[in-house]
Amino acid sequence: MHRDSDRHKLFNRRTAMLAGGQLMLLGALTGRLYYLQVVESDKYATLADENRINFRLLPPPRGRITDRNGLPIADNQQNYRLLLISENTLSVEGTLRALERIIPLGESEKRRIIRDVKRNKSFVPVTVRENLEWPEVSQIEVNTPDLPGVLIDVGESRDYPYGEEFAHVLGYVAAVSHDETTDDPLLDLPGFRIGKAGIEKVHDLALRGSGGNSQVEVNAFGRVIRELSRQEGLPGAEVQLTLDAGLQHFAATRIAGESATVVVMDVRNGEVLALTSSPSFDPNLFNQGLSTAEWNDLVNNPRSPLINKSIQGQYAPGSTFKMVVALAALERGVITPDTQFFCNGKMTLGDAEFHCWKKSGHGIMDCLNAITQSCDVYFYQVALRIGIERIAAMAKRMGLGEPLGIDLPGERGGLIPTPEWKKSAIGSSWQKGETVILGIGQGYILTTPLQLATMTARLANGGVVVKPHLTPQVVEPGSVEAQFTPQPAESIGLSPAHLTLVRKAMSQVVNDPYGTAFRARIIKEDEAMGGKTGTVQVRRISKAEREQGVRKNEDMEWEERDHALFVGYAPVDNPRFSVAVVVEHGGSGSSAAAPIARDVLQEVQRLDITMPTSSAIGASDASSENALDDNGGRPPGRNHG
Amino acid sequence: MAADPRGVTMVRYRFGEPSLTVWQKIWHINWLFVLVLCATAGVGFGMLYSAASGSLDPWASRQMVRFAMGFAIMLVIALIDVRIWLRYAYLIYGFGMVLLIAVELSGTIGMGAQRWIDLGVVTVQPSEVMKIALVLALARYFHGASLDDVKSPVYLIIPLFLVAMPAALVLRQPDLGTALMLVLGSGAIFFAAGVRIWKFAVLIVLGLGSLPVGWQFLREYQKQRVLTFLNPENDPLGSGYHIIQSKIALGSGGVFGKGFMQGTQSHLSFLPEMQTDFIFTMLAEEMGMVGALGLMGLYTLILIYGIYFSVGCRNQFGRLIAIGVTMTFFLYVFINIAMVTGLIPVVGVPLPLISYGGTAMLTLMIGFGLLIGVHVHRDVMIGRRASGSDIV
C-alpha cells in the first residue's frame, strides 16, 4: 500500500510535468496562431486575395481617325470569332463534325483545335476561327442547338475603309513586338494591336485609351467564379486630321500607277490637305498579319510602296529651287529685277561647260523671264555671284534642309550642302562648279516633296513661316487637346517687292505662253495657278551622249529617266493652296508633274475646303463664346470658299 | 475463482460492494466530459458542412453516423471493468502485432504504402488498433512494476521492445505520423510510470544521433516532406504548396475570420484536403483566431479531463491508460495543428473529432471509452501482481 502510494505520488508529479509540457506546446500553437493571424495577417490576407482575385484587363476601343470633315478614315470593325468550350460539348470531335457542315475546317486546323483543347482546362474557350463572315455567323447562330459548346465572340479589329489611299499617313496597327512593351499592361494583352507607323504610331497613346479592368474571383484551377468589380476604361481619343478625304482620294487616284507623290497644303496655316505616295499598300493586311510572300513583295518592289515619298523621298529640287536662288540674290543686291545675263546655251567656268536645258540658248534674260522660261545659264551666273552660303541660308529660311516636324514618323530632312558640310561629309573642299549647279537645284542638294510644298506655301503666303501639320487636335471625350499650337505669324523677312516679282514669274511659268508649264495652266481665271517646273537628272549625261544628241526619256530605262517635279499654288492672285508633285522617273516636270498639280489644285478649289479644324485650335484656349466674337479666330479663308 | 489469492485480497470497493452495477456505472460516467466530446464533434460537423459548401453531403452526414456509432462503442467500453482490459491487454497487443505483420506481408505484394487489412467483415487499419493496444500493454506492464523495478534499466528492455516492434512496422508501411505517435505516446507512459528522466535524456541524445541513419530509411516522399518543411518556398507549386496555402488561409482569416462558409482559400480549392488533415486551417480561416482558440479550448478541456481522470484513479493500470490515451489525443491535436500552421513537416495526422474519416474516429472513441471507463472504475483497487483473471 505504501509502495503504491509512493508510486501514485511519483505518477502525479510526472503527470503534472506532462501536463505542463502539453500546456507549453499548446501555448506554442497559440503563439503561432497569433503570429499568423494577427502579426502577419495583412500579408496573408493580401496573398489570399492574390490567389483568388484575377485582374482582367478590358481593352478600350481604339480611337477613330477622321479627315477634316469628320469622315472616318480609320475605324473599328466588329470581328466575329468562333470559340469552343470543350466542357460544354458532348464530344469535341462531334461538335467539330457538326460545325464542318457550316464552315469547312481543314485537317490541320482540326488538329490544332484538338491540340488547344487538350492543352487548356476544359472551361477555357479555344479559338476555332477568326474573322468570320456575317453569313457564317448567322448560320452558326441558327444551328446553335446542334453545336453544343460553340460560342461566337465579338471583338474589334482595325479597319481602313480607304485602304491604300491613306496608308502612308495613317500607317497601320499590328501585334505588339517584344521590344515595344512598356509598363502599360494593355500591351501584354494577347491580340492587342498598337500603331506601328504613321498617325497610328505618332498618336498611339491618345488613340489607345486606357484599359479598364474587371476583378474576377477564380478558384485554384483558374475557373472564374464571379465578377467582383468592373471598371470601364477610357476609349481611345478620336484624332481628326487636316486631310480632306475627297482630295486625298482624288490625288491618290490621279497618281495611281506612277511612282509619285503629291502634297497639298493650306498656305496660310500649314494644314496638310492631301499627302499621298504611290504605289501604296493595304494597311488592313498588316492588321491581319502579312504572309511572307506579301511582305517580300512589298519590300522588294523597286518603287518602294512602303516608303512615304512625300516625307521620306529625297530629291534634288531642280529648277523649282530657282526661286530660292533668285530671292537670295535679290535680297543681297547682287542682282536687281533689271539685271540681265545672256544665255547662249551654256556657260564656261574654267575647263567646265555648264549647259542650259535649251541648247540654242535663251538670249538676254532678266530675273522674271529666267524663272518663267527656266533659263539655266541665268541662274548659273547668279549662283556664281552670290555664293553657296547665301543660297544655303535662303534655302533654310524657305524650310529646306531640315525636317519640318510634321506629325509623322520618319520624316527626312533633305540636304542643303555647304562647304563645311562637304568638308566633313565627303572630305574635300567646295568647288565653284558645285555652286553653279546648285543654282539650278542640282548637285548634292536634296529636298522632300513636303519641303517643296512648304517652300511654295511660304512664297505664296507672302513670306509667312508656316509649318506643315496633320493633326490640329486630338478629340478626347470631354476635352479638346491641341496637339498643334499655331505660332504667331512669323515672317521670313523677305521684301514684298521681291516676293511679288517671284510670284509674278511663277504665274508666268504657267500662264504665259513662254512659260514651261503653259500647257498645264488652269483656264478658269479665278482658280488659275502659279508654279514652277523642275526636271531632275538622275544620271550624269556624258559629253559623248550630249554630242550624239540628247536621248529622249522614253528611250531610257525607267530607272534612268529624269524625275519630274512641279511646285505650285492657287489661286494665283490670292493664294490659298500650295502643291508639290514629284513623279519619279516621270520625264519632264512640265509634261509629267505639272498636269497632276493642275488637276489637284482645281480639285481642291472645287471641293470648297473649309477649316473647322483650325478654328477649333483658336478656340481651345478661350471660351467658345469668345471664339465666336473674335474675328481673328474665324477661318480667314471663308470669303474665298 | 481466485487463481491468485493475493490478487483477490487486494480488490476492494469504496462502498464495499463486490462490483458496480451497470446503472451505477452509468451514474459514474462523467457526462460533462461526454458533452464536451459531443460539442467538439459538433464543431466538426459544422466544418464538414462548410467544406461541402453548405451541404450535409458528402461528409457531414456520414461523419455524424460514424460519431453515433463511435459514441455507442465508447459507452460500451466505458462500462467494461478495467480489469478485463488488464487481463486481455497482452492478447490485444498480440492481435495488433499479428495484424501489423499481416499488413506488412501483404504490403510487400502491393504497391506503395499498405496500411489497411481486410478482415472479411471490416477493413481495419492495424496501426490504429496498435495505438490502443500499445497503451494497454504498457499500462499493464508498468502496472506490475514497483518503483525499484522501474529504476532498473533491464526492466525496461521488454517495454522498449513492446514499443519498438510496432513502431518499426508502422514506419515501414510507411506511416511516419503514426509511428511518431506510438513512440511519443509510449514515452508519456514510461515517463508517468516513473522511468528516470536522465534515461529519456540519453534516449533523446541517442535518437538525435541516429537521425542521419534513420534518414536513410525514410521513403523519398517522406524525405521530400521534411525538406519541403524546412523551406516550403523552394517549391511553391509542388510539395510546398500545401503548407504555403495553409498558412495563407490561416493568416488571411485574421482574428475574427472570413465567416462561416466564406473561406476563400478553402472554397476556391486553394486549400488541399480541407475536409481531412487541413480542416483546422479551414476553421481558422472562416472563424479566425477566435474560432481556432475556441476549438483549442475544447481540446484543452478534454486534456484536463483526461489528466483529472488519470490522477483521480486509484489503480496504476487505470492511471497509465488514462495518461496514455490523453497523450495520444494530445499528440493528434498537436501534430495536426503544428503541421497546418507550418511548425512541423506535413505528416498525415487528422484533427481528432473534426477531420473527416472513420478510422481515427473509431480509435479516438475507443480511447475515450477507456478514459471514461477508467474514471468509472476509478475506485477499483488492483494489486500490482493482479492479472485481471480474477474478474468475471
Select, from the ranges A416-420, B7-11, B203-207, the one with the highest average predicted confidence (pLDDT): A416-420
Q: What are the catalytic residues of A?
A: 319
Residue B365 lies in a domain: no
Q: What is the pLDDT of residues A115-146, one digit of tens each?
A: 888 887 777 778 888 778 888 888 888 888 88
Q: For residue A2, is it within any domain?
A: no
CATH of the domain at A446: 3.40.710.10
Residue B300 has pLDDT above 90, yes or no: yes
Contact A220 B269 (CB under 8 A): yes
Contacts of A70 (CB under 8 A, 6+ apart): A240
Chain segment A186-217, per-residue pLDDT in tens = 887 777 888 989 999 988 888 988 888 888 88
Q: pLDDT by residue (tens digit) across B153-197? A: 899 999 999 999 999 988 877 777 888 899 999 999 999 998 888
Helices then strands, each counted (H, E), chain B: 17, 2
A557 versus A416: the higher-pLDDT residue is A416
Residues B93 and B170 in one domain: yes
Residues A199 and A78 in one domain: yes
> Do residues B183 and B241 both lie within one domain?
no
Q: Indicate if the pLDDT at residue A112 is higher than 90.
A: no
Domain-terminating residue out of B149, B182, B217:
B217
β pairing state of A346-349 and A464-465? unpaired
Residue A38 lies in a domain: no
A290-294 average pLDDT score: 80
Give the whole-angstrom CA distance, residue B238 versus residue A537: 74
The domain boundary residue, chosen from A185, A206, A240: A240
CB B312 within 8 A of CB B379: no
Domain final residue pick, A197, A222, A240: A240
pLDDT value at residue A324: 95
Could you tell me if residue B112 is inside a domain?
Answer: yes
Based on the fold, state whether residues A74 and A154 are members of the same structural domain: yes
Nearest CA in chain A to B384: A4
- B241 and B213, same domain (yes or no): no
Q: How many CB atoms lie within 10 A of CB A581?
A: 36
Element (DSSP H or E) covering residue A479: strand A479-482
Same domain, B140 and B241: no
What residues 164-193 of chain B have any CB closer than 8 A to a CB of chain A?
188, 191-193
pLDDT of residue A65: 93
**Mean pLDDT value of segment A473-477:** 51
Quote the pLDDT of residue A474: 54
B187 Cβ contact partners less than 8 Å away, ≥ 6 residues apart: B200
The reply to whether B374 falls in a domain is no
Name the closest residue on chain B to residue A40, using Cα atoms: B251
Query: How many domains are there within chain A?
Result: 2
Most confidently modeled of A219-223, A572-576, B16-20? A572-576
**pLDDT value at B285 more than 80:** yes
CA distance A59 to A235: 9
The residues in B 286-305 lying below 8 A from A, measured between CB atoms, are 288-289, 292-293, 296, 299-300, 303
Q: What is the pLDDT of residue B37?
A: 97
In a domain, B383, yes or no: no
Same domain (yes/no): A164, A303:
no
Residue A246 has pLDDT above 90, yes or no: yes
- Whether A451 and A379 map to the same domain: the answer is yes
| Among A209-213, A481-485, A502-506, B151-155, the range of highest mean pLDDT | A502-506
Chain B contacts of A28, Cβ < 8 Å? 338, 343
Instruction: Tell me how close the Cα of A42 comes to any Cα of chain B, in angstroms.
Output: 7
What's residue B72's pLDDT? 96
In a domain, A621, yes or no: no
Residue B125's pLDDT band (cuts 50, 70, 90)? confident
Is there a single domain that holds both residue B96 and residue B211? yes
B169 and B293, same domain (yes or no): no
Kindly state whether residues B285 and B158 are assigned to the same domain: no
Contacts of A48 in chain B (CB under 8 A): 248-249, 251-252, 264-265, 270
> Are A297 and A403 within one domain?
yes
Determine, yes or no, domain membership for B134.
yes
* B103 lies in the same domain as B160: yes
CA–CA distance from A472 to each of A203, A278, A478, A609, A614 (Å)?
12, 25, 17, 15, 7
pLDDT at residue B112 greater than cutoff 60: no
Which residues does chain A have within 8 Å of residue B342's beta carbon, measured at their own beta carbons? 32
> What is the extent of the structural domain holding B335?
40-69+219-311+323-354
Nearest residue of chain A to residue B312 (CA atoms): A12
The greatest distance separating any two alpha carbons of chain B, rounded to the nearest whole angstrom, comes to: 67
Same domain, A167 and A254: no
Q: Tens digit of pLDDT for each residue in A353-406?
A: 899 988 899 999 999 999 999 999 999 999 999 999 999 999 999 999 999 989
Q: Quick: pLDDT tens for B318-363.
A: 999 999 999 999 999 999 999 999 888 877 789 999 999 888 899 9
The whole-number pLDDT of residue A576 equals 92
Q: Is-contact A202 A218, C-beta < 8 A?
A: no
Residues 6+ apart with CB under 8 A from B57: none
Query: A29, B307: Cβ pair inside 8 Å?
Result: no
Is 60 exceeded by the pLDDT of residue B14? Answer: no
Find where cell 488637276 sits: A599
Report if residue B118 sits inside a domain. yes
- Which residues does residue A491 pair with via DSSP β-bridges, in sequence order? A464
Residues of A within an 8 Å Cβ radius of B: 3-4, 6-8, 10-12, 14-15, 17-19, 22, 25-26, 28-30, 32-34, 36-38, 40-41, 43-45, 47-49, 51-52, 217-221, 225
Both A74 and A117 in one domain: the answer is yes
> What is the pLDDT, as a whole number, of residue B16?
41
Task: Output the average pLDDT for chain B.
Answer: 85
Residue A550 has pLDDT above 60, yes or no: no
CA distance B177 to A592: 95
Q: How many domains does the structure of chain B reveal?
A: 2
User: In which element (H, E) is residue A464 found?
Assistant: strand A464-465
Owning domain of residue A98: 56-240
Report yes or no on A89 lying in a domain. Answer: yes
Percent of the residues in chain A that have a pLDDT greater than 90, as a whole number: 48
Which of B288, B303, B323 has its CB closest to that of A37?
B288
Reduced to 3 states, what is the DSSP secondary structure of residue A64? coil
- Work out the burial of residue A289: count CB atoms within 10 Å of its CB; fewer than 13 is exposed, 13-18 middle, 19 or more buried: exposed
* CATH number, domain containing residue A87: 3.90.1310.10
Angstrom distance (rounded) from CA A510 to CA A523: 10
User: Nearest residue on chain B to A12, judged by CA atoms?
Assistant: B311
Q: Give the contacts of A84 (CB within 8 A, at least 6 positions apart).
A: A92, A95, A96, A113, A117, A125, A126, A128, A149, A150, A151
The percent of residues in chain B predicted with pLDDT above 70, rounded, is 86
The mean pLDDT value of chain A amounts to 85
Q: Is the pLDDT of residue A260 over 90?
A: yes
Distance from first CA to last CA of chain A, Å, rounded? 129
Question: Residues of B numbered 65-84 whose beta carbons fall under 8 angstroms of chain A's beta carbons: which are they?
Answer: none
So what's the pLDDT on residue A480? 41
Collect all residues of chain B within an 8 Å Cβ-Cβ radius of residue A33.
250, 284, 289, 292-293, 341
Domain end among A209, A240, A271: A240
Q: Answer yes or no: do A417 and A554 share one domain.
A: yes
Q: What are residue A464's phi and psi, to 5 degrees?
A: -95, 135
Which chain B residue has its CA at the smallest distance from A219's CA? B268
Is residue A630 domain-resident? no
Claim to verify: residue A421 and residue A464 sit in the same structural domain: yes
Q: Are A52 and B265 in contact (CB < 8 Å)?
A: yes
